[in-house]
Structure 1
Amino acid sequence: MKSFKKLFTSKPKTHNPESSFKIGGMASLKVLDVIPSPEDDSHKLKKAFQGFGTDEDVIIEILGHRDANQRKKIRETYHQLYNETLIDALKSELSGDFGKAVILWTYDPSERDARLANEALKSKKKGIKHLEIIVEMSCASSPQHVVAVRQAYCTLFDHSIEEDIVASLPPPLRKILVGLVTSYRYDKEVVDTDVANLEADRLHEAIKTKDLAHDDVVFILSTRNFYQLRTTFACYKKKHGNPIDKDIEKSGKGDLESLVRMVILCIDSPEKHFAEVVGTSIIGLGTDEDSLTRAIISRAEIDMMKVKSEYLNIYKSSLDDAVTGDTSGDYRNFLVTLLGGKI
């Protein structure tokens, strides 16, 4: 096999400057054509909090039809008008899964992911499912978002996400995750097929020798752009007969194997990953509301229409119907609103 040095020095073969890695275009969120002013929205929200009981329908109607920039303006305006944060007002008025969902949605996306990541790293849960949020923000988001999450994390918790990863997780897992969160991937469509073939072989060798935390693996998964990695995974299947995630699954069932498979799926097909998160949270005994909420809130402004299509492909049923049938009350109404449905 050619020297691995080739991987660090090779120049890209193809470059399409018009095609950048775009997050968006397939959102389910429905924003009004004519948006009321942040002052009007703030007054209506304040009124919904006052009196006997809370008017949850107004909260859903306003916040469920505003994008991240519009929600930010509402937060700022509400604070100026009433000298309290909108988040604090929501916390005092709402409860349960509905309250959690609305508050997470109202946060700035980078602050939301920083808080979810911190919660995951402080969790005492076993396995790696609770680490999904860190993989998602690193492997299914823009590089700019990852940087914003890291900055928000430092501001909120007075130390870095890297410090908490190292303090919370065993060496193989933390090595992978620190590599992912500290990376700033190139976000244009640049693909070198020679490098893809070399790195497909290197990944195959690491799987065969059960050395998934090798420096080369971390380098490949955490620094290559998403287009390059998808080409690498395609080369892997063509050269070695199986999809890479299937070979990893066959090589072991431990946390490291599960984590690397999650990383690869998030990079290769974010919509499939989130469809499976929704499916796993709903199907079976009980509902994992936290995972369901995170998946819908994370992708409603990005690619939820693709997630719906993938869900239908995997489970042969409608994601909207699954959510409607498995949730209730204001929580259901809010999720359905973010999914673009009518309540």
Structure 2
Amino acid sequence: MATLICPEHPSPVADAEALRKAFQGWGTNEKAIVSILGHRNAVQTKLIRKTYEDMYAEDLVKRLESELSGDFELLVALASPYKYFGDDINVKLAKVEADILHDKVKDKALNDEEIMRIISTRSNAQIVATLNNYKDNNGVAITKAFKDDLENSYLAALLSAIRSINNPQKYYEKVLRNALSKPGTDEDALTRVIVTRAEKDLKNIKDLYYKRNSATLDHVVGKETSSHYKALLLALLGKED
């Protein structure tokens, strides 16, 4: 379940104009930027970006980068198109690519670009079907092949990607827990999870976080962050500051 609260039919023209106004004058009006980008879904945000470029002949993302400090990565992510993860599954493709994975594991070619291509270009549903096919055929999950060499940062990252696809809520709750429990919050990890899951299953991740930590994610994020960065995160979490 998503946490993002959006108006049903916002005007991309009005939003583009408001963002342009926020960039002008002495100092950027970050509150105005948060009020727009913190309450628009991926489709709405993509329309804003296109409309802004059509109206003002400049890339909204690049303008955000030039105007903001600290928080700009989060806002840039919001203003960029999201990848669509559909539910359709090609059974034949899952079998073919499971066989490819098997061959790469057998040859110890875990760095092969074919593995990255499969993991990075297929929908989550398609990847799960492929990984299940691999496990059915080999009697063991492909993640076992990566666990033997976790000192390799590439393989460790690939393993994290696979885990996030297989059990996303459990994986992302752990990422958030680690990010918020470190001395000095890991803002990159915090930003990445909240931005990418706000339209998908962030409500479920929040519920799991509360069960495991006896504290609401809203409360901990509010305590560990500040200023407009905090306001935007709370907006994406479905709670206003």
Measured against the shorter chain, the TM-score band is 0.7 to 0.9
Question: 1:185: Cα distance to partner?
Answer: 7.0
With over 3 angstroms needed to count, the CA separation of the structure-2 counterparts of 1:68 and 1:179, relative to structure 1, is closer
Question: 1:184: Cα distance to partner?
Answer: 6.1
CA distance in 1, matches of 2:124, 2:191: 27
With over 3 angstroms needed to count, the CA separation of the structure-2 counterparts of 1:282 and 1:306, relative to structure 1, is same
CA distance in 1, matches of 2:125, 2:62: 38
Identical amino acids, percent of aligned pairs: 32
Asked if structure 2 preserves the Cα contact closer than 8 Å seen for 1:173 and 1:259, the reply is: no
Question: 1:105: Cα distance to partner?
Answer: 0.9
Counterparts of 1:292-307 in structure 2 under 5 Å? 292-307=190-205
Question: 1:88: Cα distance to partner?
Answer: 2.1
CA distance in 2, matches of 1:87, 1:185: 27
Q: Does 1:29 align with 2:10?
A: no
With over 3 angstroms needed to count, the CA separation of the structure-2 counterparts of 1:185 and 1:54, relative to structure 1, is closer
CA distance in 2, matches of 1:142, 1:106: 21
C-alpha RMSD over aligned residues: 3.2
Q: Does 1:201 align with 2:139?
A: yes
Aligned with 2:225 (options 327, 339, 342): 327
With over 3 angstroms needed to count, the CA separation of the structure-2 counterparts of 1:51 and 1:315, relative to structure 1, is same
CA distance in 2, matches of 1:49, 1:94: 10
Letter in 1 for 2:43: N
- Report the counterpart of residue 177 of structure 1 in structure 2: 116
CA distance in 1, matches of 2:124, 2:175: 25
Question: 1:323: Cα distance to partner?
Answer: 0.9
CA distance in 1, matches of 2:231, 2:210: 21
Question: 1:183: Cα distance to partner?
Answer: 4.8
Structure 1 residue runs of 4 or more that deviate by more than 6 Å after TM superposition? none
CA distance in 2, matches of 1:143, 1:181: 16
Letter in 2 for 1:172: L
Q: Does 1:315 align with 2:213?
A: yes
Question: 1:300: Cα distance to partner?
Answer: 0.4
Q: Does 1:86 align with 2:60?
A: yes
Question: 1:325: Cα distance to partner?
Answer: 1.0
Q: Does 1:285 align with 2:224?
A: no
Asked if structure 2 preserves the Cα contact closer than 8 Å seen for 1:265 and 1:273, the reply is: yes
With over 3 angstroms needed to count, the CA separation of the structure-2 counterparts of 1:28 and 1:46, relative to structure 1, is same
CA distance in 2, matches of 1:185, 1:266: 10
CA distance in 2, matches of 1:203, 1:66: 38
Q: Does 1:65 align with 2:3?
A: no
Q: Aligned to 2:240, what secondary structure does the other structure show?
A: coil
Q: Deviations over 1:279-326 (max 9, x none)?
A: 111102111111110011010011100111121222222111111111
CA distance in 1, matches of 2:158, 2:19: 43
Q: Does 1:336 align with 2:234?
A: yes
Asked if structure 1 preserves the Cα contact closer than 8 Å seen for 2:135 and 2:141, the reply is: no
Q: Does 1:274 align with 2:172?
A: yes
CA distance in 1, matches of 2:138, 2:206: 30
Q: Aligned to 1:314, what secondary structure does the other structure show?
A: helix
Counterparts of 1:89-108 in structure 2 under 5 Å? 89-96=63-70, 98-108=71-81
- Report the counterpart of residue 229 of structure 1 in structure 2: none
CA distance in 2, matches of 1:203, 1:92: 45
Q: Which has the greater radius of gyration?
A: 1
Counterparts of 1:229-268 in structure 2 under 5 Å? 254-255=151-152, 258=156, 262-263=160-161, 265-268=163-166
Q: Deviations over 1:116-143 (max 9, x none)?
A: xxxxxxxxxxxxxxxxxxxxx9xxx547
Asked if structure 1 preserves the Cα contact closer than 8 Å seen for 2:119 and 2:162, the reply is: no
Question: 1:182: Cα distance to partner?
Answer: 5.2
Aligned with 1:109 (options 82, 86, 102): 82
- Report the counterpart of residue 25 of structure 2 in structure 1: 51
List alignment gaps of at least 5 residues for structure 2.
89-107
Question: 1:202: Cα distance to partner?
Answer: 4.0
CA distance in 1, matches of 2:2, 2:64: 25
| Number of residue pairs matched by the alignment | 217
